[in-house]
Structure formats: structure tokens, C-alpha cells
Structure 1
């Protein structure tokens, strides 16, 4: 498994289509809420997106996607013609009927959100700006447009298995949006930027594949064909933390997944992650997570996170 796929799996990234509409003529849609990561997909037409933290409105063209990170207010205006704008309620159930009413030249917008566990929130919220913009016309965006078209087909076709297909295409939509964003945007120091660094990738791959090994800085520098000093400086500049601090944090992410998903004994888990004793592991876990491994396991299983409900566009 490549590193980005592994991270997606561990942070339990899931896509959810939560609002969609088709419209003809001037329209406006507003939202107030606290969802952490929202997506606005301009499938057809053009619109101006305003949000808190955005100095000037974002112009969305056909195929564009806006990523909204922790925004509490957004407004989307689109359509052409005179008269007052239609106030849109995006949670349209009969999208096929709405598309017929809008005609082939009407606007079409899909709203969604990215659901993550606590580790995923720490990873993506830190790496993404308040509002990100992925252009549908950018080189390499053909897959994104194709997935969006497939998603619309499933949402409007009402075929057998369409609910399952929508979930799968929503997952792929998230992946393609982040791929396009990573390819064309300078990221701040952090894990996402680290995963895109070609020179550091050999060391990151080895740490991910052998997290229980007692890695030394010299070993990791050698894997990446750098001097110890050059490797340490580059790693800290890209990841925001020293190599061994990153390794310890990665071990804790793996530990949290294991504690959520199975009944592995704490001592066995500690040994697999490179700790000399169960107490050493428990101390490190509590320092990183804020509670002991056993208490964490008990709490998570008692309070299993559920998918957020309700439309992405409403409070």
C-alpha cells in the first residue's frame, strides 16, 4: 500500500454527498454551520462563492471544486438573467426532476463533506487552507471530471445499487480532489507535504513499513542517500518535526487504529511498535493522546463516531 492510501485508510476518510441542486436563472444558496471539511462541486454553470476567511469571492467554473475548511458561513450565487435570485434549498430529493426543469443550460451543484476520525482531522485541517480551489480545467483534472460525471449519473439514474455506487464515487472524488490539490499547491509543513517529497519518501516508506524497528537517524539518512545533517534539516523543514518525533507520532496513529479495531493485547501491541515494555508504551500513548490505551479503547468503543447527518448547506 502506498503512503497516501495507507493514511486515507488509517484516518477513515469517507465522502458523503449531502446537498445537490439544479437551477435556471439567478439563484443564491447560503449555509451556516460547523462541519469541518465541506466540498462544493460546480458540475455545470458558474458561481461566486463567499465564505468567512475569504477576502474576495471565489469564481467557480464548470468542473471546479472548492474545499471549505472549518468555515461557519458560506454563500454561493449563480445564474444569469434579471429579477430577484431564487433562494435555493439544496437538499433536493428529486434531482432528475430538478434537472429537467433547469434544462441543459441550467446550473448544477453538488455539496458534500469529508468525514474523518480524530487523526484525520489533525492531518487535513492543518494542511488545508480555509478555502481551497481545485480547477476543473487544470491539467490532470480529467479523472476528477469523469468521477463527477459518474456521480451525477448515479444520483439521477436511480439504478439498483446506486446508494453503494454513490458512496464509492464520493470516496474517489475526495481522493482526486486531494491529488489535484497536492499537485498544484504549496503545502505548509506537515504529513501531507512529507508524503509528496520525493527525496524523503524512501525513509518515510521504511518507517511506515517497519514502525517497530529501532530506527536511528543515521539509518534513515542512509536510506534517503543523504548525510545525517542534510536529512535531519530537510525532514524538519518538510514535516515540521524531527524524523524520530514523526516516527513516534506515526506509531501512536497505528496504535489508535489497533485499539479501535481489534482486541490485541496492550503488551503485544507495544512490542510490535518498538517499545521495550508495556509501561513505556502506555506512558508514550498517554503523553500523545491524553489518556491510557485501555481507557482510549473503552471510550472509543462506547462512543463509536457516526456519520454526520443533514444537508451540507444548512445549519
Structure 2
């Protein structure tokens, strides 16, 4: 990881993954059944042709062309249809599971008018708390935007892996799915004004030296004066800018960052709670447990047990 790359550091901590799970290849006038996606962060990408997206979070439907991607942030009432003149009868299609029927589905893709692939963004609880609030109900990433060239490039490679059925394709699709989410975020950040939060602060060049101090050693607690000096700003100007960009004061951000480290350690390792408390700079296990429960709503041990039961 490149030093001082806050976005990579956050994505690594919250374990964001893109999972391709379905798709469709169809010609003529078509429509999908109405779908409830209120329990997931879904994405749909157009490989060829186009589609129209209806969703409860939209004032008007969104038309997508080849290379466009739409991210649906826990939406219900979602319906897809071909971009054809109104009044034409549309046949109903079903999404086909990539794992079971991809070759049958896309085997004649060269003849299809519209080709779409879909999936979801797999998030741990910490990632969900960070990513969902900074995305709108429906985010449209346009292929025509200069920042979206990476999205189209990865989308093409994903589709190539779907069709080729080569040795190692499952592994390749996992990696491309990860890159796909990264390119989506990059393109989205260049197409819109981000709301206050982790995504906006992680891309703020003036605050980058400050984040390097905050992220470098989670146990360390630099003062606001030290953070301001790193950003070459006065204490007052720094505190105001950080709160505006991050949506929280610097001290609260550092506490949240320590808790992200704690959640990953409890999820992925067998480190004891007391040892973890010391590693993160807390004076006692009790102080750490209180801070952890305040952030997550449950004790460190209960958090670990719940995640491991879910995994089992």
C-alpha cells in the first residue's frame, strides 16, 4: 500500500468486496419483475445496449447505456426495462444466477441487444456504517465521464472472465469485483459533490498529512495542535475544515479509526481483549470495552462471538 493513501487504508479495514451474482442477455422489448433490494447495496452494469431503471428512491427513471453502472443503496420497488418506445409490449425476464447458468445465459451474447451484469457490494458491519450513508439512494456512474474509464475497463474484463470459463476464473472474478468497487468509488467521487464523511475526508489533499498521523499509529493520540501543524493550518481553521469535511471533530474521527482496527482484529484474529486494548492505546481493558460498546452497541467479546457464529 502506498504510504499516506487514506482511501486504500479505509477500504482495507472495512473489507469491501464486489460480488458479481447475476445478469441477463436479451433482445427486443423486455422488463423485469419488481424487486426489493432494501437489504443490500446492489450494482448493475450495462455491457451492451441499455436499460431503464425505476426505483422508489428516484423521482424519474434513469436510462443507462453501455458502460454505465447504477448503484442501488438499499432500494425497494426496483424494476428494469429495455429503453424502447412506450406502448410496446414487454416480455418479463428473470435474472439468472451467474454461478449456475452463466454459459447458457451469455453463450449467445453476441446476438443480444442488451447485456447486463449485476451483483452486490459485500460489506462487514463497519463498512456498511461507513459506505451506505455517503451514497445516495441511486448513484449513476456514467461511462462518458472521463473518470469512468477504469469502470469500463474492469467491466470488460469481468465479462470476459464470465464467458471464458478458464482455469482460475472464480479467483479472477473476485479480484475484478474488488477493483470494480474501487473504480466505481473513484468515478463517483469525480462526478458529484461528496457529503461529509470518510469518503470525502480520505480524498482531501490538504488533510492528507493529518490523516497519515491519525492512521499511522492507532495507539497514538496526537493533539489537535499537532494535527493542524501537519496540515499547515491554524488550530481554528483546521478544526473547522476537518469537521466540515469529515462530519465529525478530529478526536471523534481518531476514536472511530481505533474502533475500525478493533473490529478487524476481533473478526480476523484470536488476540485477547486486554492485549488489543493495550495495542490501541487504552489505559485498561475496561476503558476499551466501554468505548467499543459505545461505538458498536455490544461488548468486544459479544461482537466476536456473534461474527463467528454467523460465519459458522
TM-score by length of 1: 0.91
Q: Against the structure 1 CA distance between its residues 94 and 265, is the aligned structure 2 distance closer, same or farther, given a 3 Å change threshold?
A: closer
Whole-angstrom CA distance in 2 between matches of 1:43 and 1:302: 38
Q: Which residue is equivalent to 1:313? A: none
Per-residue Cα deviation, 1:141-187 (whole angstroms, up to 9, x for no partner): 22211111111111111112212211211111111111110122111
Q: Would the aligned equivalents of 1:52 and 1:74 in 2 still touch at CA under 8 Å?
A: yes
Q: Which of 16, 19, 33 is the equivalent residue of 2:19?
A: 16
Q: Which residue is equivalent to 2:90? A: 85
Instruction: Give 1:98 deviation, angstroms.
Output: 4.2
Q: Which residue is equivalent to 1:218? A: 225
Q: Which residue is equivalent to 2:49? A: 45
Q: Which residue is equivalent to 1:158? A: 165
Alignment partner of 1:291 is 2:298: yes
Q: Would the aligned equivalents of 1:69 and 1:125 in 2 still touch at CA under 8 Å?
A: yes
Q: Which residue is equivalent to 2:32? A: 29
Q: Which residue is equivalent to 2:204? A: 197
Whole-angstrom CA distance in 2 between matches of 1:98 and 1:274: 54
Q: Would the aligned equivalents of 1:23 and 1:98 in 2 still touch at CA under 8 Å?
A: no
Q: Which residue is equivalent to 1:141? A: 148
Q: Against the structure 1 CA distance between its residues 213 and 87, is the aligned structure 2 distance closer, same or farther, given a 3 Å change threshold?
A: same
Q: Against the structure 1 CA distance between its residues 24 and 239, is the aligned structure 2 distance closer, same or farther, given a 3 Å change threshold?
A: same
Per-residue Cα deviation, 1:73-115 (whole angstroms, up to 9, x for no partner): 2111115488521211121654445445454461100111001
Quote the RMSD (CA, aligned, Å): 1.8
Whole-angstrom CA distance in 2 between matches of 1:216 and 1:29: 55
Whole-angstrom CA distance in 1 between matches of 2:103 and 2:267: 40
Q: Would the aligned equivalents of 1:47 and 1:77 in 2 still touch at CA under 8 Å?
A: yes
Structure 1 gaps, min length 5 = 306-315
Moved over 3 A (4+): 79-83, 92-105
Q: Which of 226, 229, 234 is the equivalent residue of 2:236?
A: 229
Q: Which residue is equivalent to 2:194? A: 187
Q: Would the aligned equivalents of 1:200 and 1:224 in 2 still touch at CA under 8 Å?
A: yes
Whole-angstrom CA distance in 2 between matches of 1:46 and 1:33: 21
Q: Which residue is equivalent to 2:62? A: 58
Whole-angstrom CA distance in 2 between matches of 1:186 and 1:68: 18
Per-residue Cα deviation, 1:112-139 (whole angstroms, up to 9, x for no partner): 1001011111111110000001001110
Q: Against the structure 1 CA distance between its residues 151 and 102, is the aligned structure 2 distance closer, same or farther, given a 3 Å change threshold?
A: closer
More deviation in 221-230 or 278-287? 278-287
Q: Would the aligned equivalents of 2:7 and 2:202 in 1 still touch at CA under 8 Å?
A: yes
Q: Would the aligned equivalents of 1:36 and 1:70 in 2 still touch at CA under 8 Å?
A: yes
TM-score by length of 2: 0.92
SS of match in other structure, 2:32? strand
Alignment partner of 1:4 is 2:33: no
Q: Against the structure 1 CA distance between its residues 294 and 95, is the aligned structure 2 distance closer, same or farther, given a 3 Å change threshold?
A: closer
SS of match in other structure, 2:267? helix
Structure 2 gaps, min length 5 = none
Alignment partner of 1:117 is 2:120: no
Q: How many residues get paired? A: 305
SS of match in other structure, 2:236? helix
Q: Against the structure 1 CA distance between its residues 18 and 105, is the aligned structure 2 distance closer, same or farther, given a 3 Å change threshold?
A: closer
Q: Would the aligned equivalents of 2:154 and 2:176 in 1 still touch at CA under 8 Å?
A: yes
